């Protein structure tokens, strides 16, 4: 009957959606686990030892912390190097205006606001190279604000 066809059609659509979502996060070897925000006065960034030297630091077995600073028109560190099969918590802040920290082709994407630390935990399973871009207009060099994230 037609009714049965509709039900089958709807199921195919639902399975398709789930497959698309799963591919988007897991298929690329990146899984978003958590994200939140912390407040930091802009004049504290220079004194905050986490951001004085932007870097990736090992904090446990297969666990890393990445301290990333966005400022017109660069991300530091660049490239951001992360070992495969690891869990990384990004702490991202801005030294000047609003930027974003967007890892192209993944769901790792956050606004980066001066005075705030955006925190995100992401799992990296497979080696790969990703572009990092800014998708908040931040000035004349906005379109050239690019970095690189390498999973090795
Ligand atoms: Cu930074 Cu746009």
Q: How many residues does the chain have?
A: 152
Distance 80 CA to ligand 1 centre (A): 17
Spatial neighbors of 30 by CB under 8 A, at least 6 apart, are 103, 106, 107, 108, 122, 123, 124, 125
User: 127 falls in which pLDDT band (50, 70, 90)?
Assistant: very high
Number of H helices and E strands in the chain, helices first, is 2, 11
Judge if the beta carbon of residue 99 lies within 6 A of ligand 1. yes
Residues 100 and 151: their CA atoms lie apart, in Å, by 20
Looking at residues 27-48, what average pLDDT do you find?
Answer: 72
User: What is the per-residue DSSP string for 14-46?
Assistant: HHHHHHHHHIIIIITTEEEEEEEEEE--GGGTT
Beta pairing class for 146-151 and 80-82: parallel
Judge if the beta carbon of residue 50 lies within 6 A of ligand 1. no
Query: Are 87 and 62 a contacting pair, CB within 8 Å?
Result: yes
Distance 62 CA to ligand 1 centre (A): 31
User: 24 falls in which pLDDT band (50, 70, 90)?
Assistant: low
Nearest to 116 by CA among 66, 48, 26, 29: 48
What pLDDT score was predicted for residue 47?
A: 74
Q: Residue with the nearest Cα to atom 1 of ligand 1?
A: 99
User: 40 falls in which pLDDT band (50, 70, 90)?
Assistant: confident
Tell me whether the omega of the peptide bond preceding residue 79 falls within 30 degrees of 0, making it cis.
yes
What pLDDT score was predicted for residue 78?
A: 97
Question: Which domains can be identified in the chain, with CATH numbers?
Answer: 31-151 (2.60.40.420)
Judge if the beta carbon of residue 82 lies within 6 A of ligand 1. no
Q: Which residue has the higher pLDDT, 17 or 64?
A: 64
pLDDT in tens, 93-119: 999 999 999 999 898 999 999 989 999
Judge if the beta carbon of residue 23 lies within 6 A of ligand 1. no
């Amino acid at each position: 009957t037609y009714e049965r066809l509709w039900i089958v059609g709807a199921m195919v659509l639902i399975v398709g959606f789930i497959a698309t979502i799963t591919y988007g996060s897991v298929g690329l070897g990146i899984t978003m686990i958590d994200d939140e925000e912390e407040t930091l006065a802009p004049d504290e960034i220079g004194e905050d030892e986490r951001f004085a030297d932007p870097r990736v630091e090992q904090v446990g077995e297969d666990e890393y912390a990445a301290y990333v600073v966005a400022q017109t028109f660069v991300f530091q560190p660049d490239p951001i190097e992360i070992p495969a099969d690891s869990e990384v918590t990004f702490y991202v802040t801005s030294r000047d205006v609003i930027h974003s920290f967007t890892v192209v082709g993944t769901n790792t994407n956050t606004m980066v606001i001066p005075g705030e630390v955006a925190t995100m935990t992401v799992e990296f399973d497979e080696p790969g190279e990703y572009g990092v871009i800014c998708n908040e207009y931040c000035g004349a060099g906005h379109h050239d604000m690019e970095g690189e994230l390498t999973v090795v």
